A and B are shown apart, each in its own frame.
Chain A
């Protein structure tokens, strides 16, 4: 009887795990099946052709995504990290609690609202959609996520290490920099990569900021094409060739996010393993 119960419970747990995994597996299967046929050298090296013409690729969107993500990271990573350090170092103070609350609220705000906000701030005042405004929208999404995960990672550094550094006469600055940050470095890199992965696929905030562009552009203050928006455009197109492109773009985007997240995990794992040898 007990054995039977055990068997049933184990079966249920396995089933639950499978149900959890199923969407991911199905998604990967479907995206690969639909997208792989359009992924070739042309896809990476050519700009889109006008509707009706054969061939063409997504070069402009790939470059656009890289530019927008790079700029968002350049602004977002330092601010996110510093905020995270502040939160971890000043736990319990009033200002830190307010900042923490703010990051929580910010994480919960629908990303399209952030897009509209940046539209009002930047696009209207600059009178043009731009890669820059898209980056700012993504930065606003990235900062609270990175700040919170940085805080978590830093709080995992044992307090005893800090005390050991202080007991040796180290200053607060040196302790923070040479002991806490270094010990948490693997986790911090993971946090950065995951936060980039988190914003890489955002579409809504880019709709009225980066806007999209049929042509190749690297200008920061001009509209720019990005993968998510191009996928959005192509998926709604009545043209089957463009629909296929949308699948291929999705495959690339999913691949990028997967690589970012997996390298984040891998770095965390390697650092942990090296320490516990």
Chain B
């Protein structure tokens, strides 16, 4: 499994909330243009891990990190966080379109919030392209000027994906993106993640092991802040190297 290119590389990476060590010496290489799932029981640090990648973790008072985290060999923690966040998109647990913005406005929020002005033609092009990639274009093309919050939950989440895509990131982080959605909307998002994989390196945190099995090429299993196992998804699920992984996957705890 080391033949793939690496986009994100963690080396002896640890994270704290105050005195509580949430992540313990994580070393892991996330392969380029694949979907990597991060699974594990609640409180294992999986969400913290992805929030460290785009430096959202440090917005929490008392948060700190040690060790190394690199994006394409560039040390994330020695780069301007705003610049890092522009190259790493993120989709959150609950759809969170900006309620004051229209559908088109939400897609382009990454530009307006960073003070980037575009020509109208370019603006329209990015709106359409991003919505197409997020499989939402056909549903909203006639109401781009309606508020984003008028859409259904699943549509809102795809709008958030379009918003993350619009700024042309190389990595997209999904933090339990389907936990607030019904099975049909979940299916659509999963399908979308599979499609996006050819253009982006994707990391998805999920509670749902079936979901990891369906969408992920690679799976990382976290427990109590430690990385227990990281391998191809089918290996992790059918022939895990560690007994802890097997216990979790077969549902003996978690």
Query: Do residues B96 and A166 form an inter-chain contact, with CB atoms below 8 A?
Result: no
Query: Do residues B110 and A166 form an inter-chain contact, with CB atoms below 8 A?
Result: no
Q: Which residues of A contact B110 (CB under 8 A)?
A: 168-169
For A183, give its contact among B99, B163, B164 (CB under 8 Å): B99
Q: Does residue B118 face the partner (Cβ distance < 8 Å to A)?
A: no
For chain A residues 163-198, which have a beta carbon within 8 Å of chain B? 163-171, 174-175, 178-179, 182-183, 185
B89, B113, B114, B150: residue with the most chain A Cβ atoms closer than 10 Å: B113
Query: Do residues A275 and B99 form an inter-chain contact, with CB atoms below 8 A?
Result: yes
The docked-state distance in angstroms from the alpha carbon of A22 to that of B121 is: 62
The docked-state distance in angstroms from the alpha carbon of A226 to that of B99 is: 42
Query: Do residues A163 and B149 form an inter-chain contact, with CB atoms below 8 A?
Result: no
Q: Which residues of B contact A171 (CB under 8 A)?
A: 82
Q: Does residue A94 face the partner (Cβ distance < 8 Å to B)?
A: no
Q: Does residue A5 face the partner (Cβ distance < 8 Å to B)?
A: no
Q: Does residue A127 face the partner (Cβ distance < 8 Å to B)?
A: no
Binds A, one of B53-61, B195-203, B204-212: B53-61
Residue of B nearest to A179 (CB): B98
Q: Which residues of A contact B61 (CB under 8 A)?
A: 92
Q: Which residues of A contact B114 (CB under 8 A)?
A: 168-170, 174
Query: Do residues B94 and A167 form an inter-chain contact, with CB atoms below 8 A?
Result: no
The docked-state distance in angstroms from the alpha carbon of A274 to that of B109 is: 20
Given A169-B83, A169-B85, A274-B147, residue A163 in contact with residue B115 (CB < 8 A):
no
Q: Does residue A9 face the partner (Cβ distance < 8 Å to B)?
A: no
Q: Which residues of A contact B99 (CB under 8 A)?
A: 161, 183, 275
Query: Do residues A160 and B56 form an inter-chain contact, with CB atoms below 8 A?
Result: no
The docked-state distance in angstroms from the alpha carbon of A170 to that of B90 is: 13
Query: Do residues A183 and B56 form an inter-chain contact, with CB atoms below 8 A?
Result: no
Q: Which residues of B contact A163 (CB under 8 A)?
A: 56, 59, 92, 96
Query: Do residues A158 and B96 form an inter-chain contact, with CB atoms below 8 A?
Result: yes
* Interface size in chain B (residues, C-beta < 8 A): 30
Q: Which residues of B contact A160 (CB under 8 A)?
A: 92, 94, 96
CB distance from B253 to the nearest CB of A (A): 30
Query: Do residues A167 and B90 form an inter-chain contact, with CB atoms below 8 A?
Result: yes
Given A164-B160, A168-B85, A168-B163, residue A174 in contact with residue B54 (CB < 8 A):
no
For chain B residues 63-91, which have a beta carbon within 8 Å of chain A? 82-86, 89-90
Query: Do residues A275 and B90 form an inter-chain contact, with CB atoms below 8 A?
Result: no
A158, A164, A175, A179: residue with the most chain B Cβ atoms closer than 10 Å: A164
Query: Do residues B115 and A174 form an inter-chain contact, with CB atoms below 8 A?
Result: yes
Q: Does residue B27 face the partner (Cβ distance < 8 Å to A)?
A: no
Q: Which residues of A contact B115 (CB under 8 A)?
A: 174
Q: Does residue A277 face the partner (Cβ distance < 8 Å to B)?
A: yes
Query: Do residues A276 and B96 form an inter-chain contact, with CB atoms below 8 A?
Result: no
Query: Do residues B113 and A169 form an inter-chain contact, with CB atoms below 8 A?
Result: yes
For A275, give its contact among B83, B109, B149 (CB under 8 Å): B149
The docked-state distance in angstroms from the alpha carbon of A174 to that of B98 is: 14
Query: Do residues A183 and B85 form an inter-chain contact, with CB atoms below 8 A?
Result: no
Q: Which residues of A contact B94 (CB under 8 A)?
A: 160
Given A166-B59, A167-B90, A168-B85, residue A277 in contact with residue B98 (CB < 8 A):
no
Q: Does residue B112 face the partner (Cβ distance < 8 Å to A)?
A: yes
Query: Do residues A168 and B59 form an inter-chain contact, with CB atoms below 8 A?
Result: no
Q: Which residues of A contact B85 (CB under 8 A)?
A: 166-169
Q: Which residues of A contact B160 (CB under 8 A)?
A: 164
CB distance from A139 to the nearest CB of B (A): 30
Query: Do residues B100 and A183 form an inter-chain contact, with CB atoms below 8 A?
Result: yes
Query: Do residues A167 and B147 form an inter-chain contact, with CB atoms below 8 A?
Result: no
Q: Which residues of B contact A178 (CB under 8 A)?
A: 112-113
Residue of A nearest to B99 (CB): A275
Query: Do residues A161 and B96 form an inter-chain contact, with CB atoms below 8 A?
Result: yes
CB distance from A68 to the nearest CB of B (A): 34
Residue of B nearest to A174 (CB): B113
Query: Do residues A167 and B82 form an inter-chain contact, with CB atoms below 8 A?
Result: no
The docked-state distance in angstroms from the alpha carbon of A163 to that of B99 is: 14
Residue of A nearest to B90 (CB): A167
Q: Residues on B close to A: CB < 8 A?
A: 54, 56, 59, 61, 82-86, 89-90, 92, 94, 96, 98-100, 109-110, 112-115, 147, 149-150, 160, 163-164, 167
Known: A170-B113, A179-B100, A185-B100. 12 other contacts (CB 8 A): A92-B61, A166-B59, A167-B54, A168-B113, A168-B114, A168-B163, A169-B84, A169-B86, A174-B113, A178-B113, A183-B99, A277-B147
